[in-house]
């Protein structure tokens, strides 16, 4: 785990090259114009990035979670907002691949892996964020269909996606009453709220998903009734790794730009890069990123191996990586001085994009709660 194989290094290099050519040159413009670059996403799919961990028989790349973290870190050096949407799309595709039946896999995955279909993950609701098991959206069986009613909040890709993986209540209260259903765009009763005005992530749309008597074929139930919460949480383990990787990529890009800036900028008769105080600051930021990367890879390997500690490690890695990535971007802005605050340098965009990573896929406070519960469960009780 301390040395990447040649194959993994090639994967990382491919993602970084794609980011340099197709994402970085347009990132600031996309941010300013709120442009969702679907055509560019489809170019990424031509390199296998539409279904990174989806099995090859369904059109995916069949790669490991570790490989996925390398892809998302590389892509995020170009634009964290676009890479983060692709992470969510991949999370849905992998959940269908893992829990779907043959018909569902054949129906959706080839289109998702090619990004001819875009996917959205619909768990959060206006009245329940961290307490996801308390969701209120309902799915009532009616013959060969389920009728869905409810509202989902903060949904990336909403209004643009073709497939919505919706968690809804088919049974009683609590996690055991939740099921997962695939809702296709254009289904009568499916609508969307206005596009949210956000601090960052301007290069991907975020809207409410509104379900009013939406009839979904029973054949679109994923994994069976009552398994939705488990499916949702399983998907989030991979999602947490990927969003952590997106934070590392954004932080690393900000740091690279800062080193170049400090080499060029002079103050008091010499380049800023010659200042030992600034060198120490760069060293600290780089060290925190590298430490987070090591933990992220450790967690990805654990998830690939079905390690009993994988859930805890994913929570640890998500918290550490998103904190380190944001700190690196924020530190880079400070080291740029007033120029870091200007849009044209692209640093303030990275700061805005990375801030939400500490909230989504489970807030970092919830990550701490997961780790604490693991510790308490393992600790011997006093006699």
Alpha helices in the chain (DSSP H): 6-18, 27-33, 38-45, 65-76, 80-99, 102-113, 228-264, 276-304, 310-335, 347-355, 364-378
Q: Do residues 325 and 253 touch, judged by C-beta distance below 8 A?
A: no
Cα 116 from chain centroid (whole Å): 19
Angle ∠(96,241,62) on CA atoms, nearest 5: 45
Angle ∠(365,366,371) on CA atoms, nearest 5: 100
Tokens representing residue 83 in the block: 């890479």
- What SS3 class is residue 157? coil
Angle, in degrees to the nearest 10, between helices 80-99 and 38-45: 50
Tokens representing residue 4 in the block: 């990447």
| Interstrand relation of 119-122 and 163-169 (parallel, antiparallel or unpaired) | parallel
Whole-angstrom Cα distance, residue 30 to residue 22?
12
Angle ∠(294,299,303) on CA atoms, nearest 5: 150
Whether 73 is a known active-site residue: answer no
Q: From the candidates 125, 288, 348, 361, which is the catalytic residue? A: 361
Smallest Cα–Cα separation from 61: which of 42, 72, 70, 48? 48
Smallest Cα–Cα separation from 276: which of 111, 78, 284, 4? 284
Whole-angstrom Cα distance, residue 197 to residue 352?
13
Whole-angstrom Cα distance, residue 22 to residue 3?
28
Catalytic residues, which ones? 361
């Amino acid at each position: 785990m301390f040395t990447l194989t040649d194959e993994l290094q090639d994967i990382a290099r491919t993602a970084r090259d794609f980011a340099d050519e197709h994402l970085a040159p347009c990132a600031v413009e996309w941010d300013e114009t709120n442009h969702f670059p679907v055509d560019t996403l489809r170019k990424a799919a031509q390199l296998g990035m539409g279904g990174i961990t989806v099995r090859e028989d369904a059109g995916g790349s069949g790669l490991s979670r570790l490989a996925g973290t390398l892809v998302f870190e590389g892509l995020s050096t170009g634009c964290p907002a676009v890479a983060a949407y692709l992470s969510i799309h991949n999370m849905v595709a992998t959940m269908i691949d893992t829990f779907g039946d043959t018909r569902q896999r054949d129906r959706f995955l080839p289109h998702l892996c090619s990004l001819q279909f875009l996917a959205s993950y619909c768990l959060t609701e206006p009245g329940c964020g961290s307490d996801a098991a308390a969701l209120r959206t309902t799915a009532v069986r009616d013959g060969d269909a389920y009728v869905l009613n409810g509202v989902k909040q903060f949904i990336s890709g909403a209004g643009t996606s073709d497939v919505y993986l919706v968690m809804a209540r088919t049974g009683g209260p609590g996690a055991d009453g939740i099921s997962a259903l695939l809702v296709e765009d254009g289904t009568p009763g499916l609508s969307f709220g206005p596009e949210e005005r956000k601090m960052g992530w301007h290069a991907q749309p975020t809207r409410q998903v509104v379900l009013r008597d939406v009839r979904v074929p029973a054949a679109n139930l994923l994994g069976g009734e009552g398994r939705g919460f488990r499916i949702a949480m399983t998907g989030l383990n991979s999602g947490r790794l990927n969003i952590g990787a997106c934070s590392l990529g954004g932080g690393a890009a900000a740091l690279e730009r800062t080193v170049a800036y400090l080499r060029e900028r002079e103050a008091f008769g010499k380049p800023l890069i010659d200042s030992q105080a600034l060198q120490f600051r760069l060293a600290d930021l780089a060290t925190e990123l590298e430490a987070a990367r090591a933990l992220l890879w450790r967690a990805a390997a654990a998830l690939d191996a079905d390690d009993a500690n994988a859930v805890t490690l994913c929570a640890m890695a998500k918290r550490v990586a998103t904190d380190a990535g944001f700190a690196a971007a924020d530190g880079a802005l400070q080291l740029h001085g007033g120029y870091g605050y200007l849009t044209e340098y692209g640093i303030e965009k990275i700061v805005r994009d990375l801030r939400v990573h500490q909230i989504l896929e489970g807030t970092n406070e919830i990550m701490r709660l997961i780790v604490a519960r693991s510790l308490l469960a393992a600790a011997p009780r006093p006699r």
